[in-house]
Amino acid sequence: MVQIEKRHGIWFHILDVAFNIVVIVAIVTGIRGFLVSPFQVEGSSMTSTLEDNQYIVINKLAYHIGSPGRGEIVVFRPPNEARKYYVKRVIGMPGDEVILRDGYVYVRAKGEERETKLDETYLDERNIGKTFRHPPGSGDTGEMRFIVPEGRYFLMGDNRQGSLDSRSFTLPNGEPAPFVAEDSIKGRVWFVALPVTKIHALEPPDYNL
């Protein structure tokens, strides 16, 4: 039996290529929109955990199917910024009381009576014991207390003397706005991608809370 090869015209091949391009773009857009996305760190607010101009990969799916966890590093929109993304660490969860005292951070977890001093091993020598009141570099070790509302989080940078975070966030009218809404948190920092010499995954610490 003789097989006859079916030949297609040039327009068929053009449409085939165009269709494949559309499919690839749709897949990439879906991945970036709902699964993972690259992000470039700007500034030194997360030093020395993350450094200026490093490229990190964000896991967006984590918060489509779950909620932010204590100690996780996240990308979010702060209360006073409609277009810019920040990257900080989750310190206070909904229902927690966060206490800044004598340069250290204490947390009374939701439903608990005792407060726990956080063992923040990720802070470098310049920042350990230097979590000050606003402004972050003030040296003011006076006590501050924040009770985190439901559906919101208290976030701080690891560079405690150089981070604009929940200690400092305000609304346009100057009113303090220390808490970040869950729907403003866009993803969890999964790993450092560039430079190649700095590639590593990021895991949240265990605060024993």
Strands 200-201 and 185-194, bridge-based pairing = antiparallel
Whether pTM > 0.85 for this model: the answer is no
- Taking only the tens of pLDDT, the chain with its 209 residues reads 544 444 556 765 566 555 455 444 443 444 444 456 888 999 999 999 999 999 999 998 889 889 999 999 999 999 988 788 999 999 999 999 999 999 999 999 999 999 999 999 999 999 999 999 998 888 999 999 999 999 999 999 999 999 999 999 999 888 999 999 999 999 999 999 999 899 999 999 999 88
Residue 208 maps to a domain: no
Report how far apart, in Å, the C-alpha atoms of 58 and of each of 72, 157, 201 are.
Answer: 12, 17, 11
Amino acid at 23: V
Active-site residue flag, 117: no
CA 12: distance to chain centroid?
46
* Set 48, 67, 84, 88: catalytic member: 88
Residue 132 domain-assigned? yes
Q: What angle do CA 30, 35, 36 make, to 5 degrees?
A: 105
**Which residues share a beta bridge with 98?**
107, 146
* List 6, 37, 44, 45, catalytic entry: 45
**19 occurs within a structural domain:** yes
Residue 67 falls in the annotated catalytic set: no
CATH number of the domain where residue 118 is located:
2.10.109.10
Q: Give the span between the Cα atoms of 189 and 18, in whole angstroms.
A: 34
Q: Which domain holds residue 137?
A: 10-201
Domain count, the chain: 1
| DSSP-assigned states of every residue in 18-61 | HHHHHHHHHHHHHIIIIIEEEEE--SSTTTTTS-TT-EEEEE-H
CA distance 161 to 22: 47
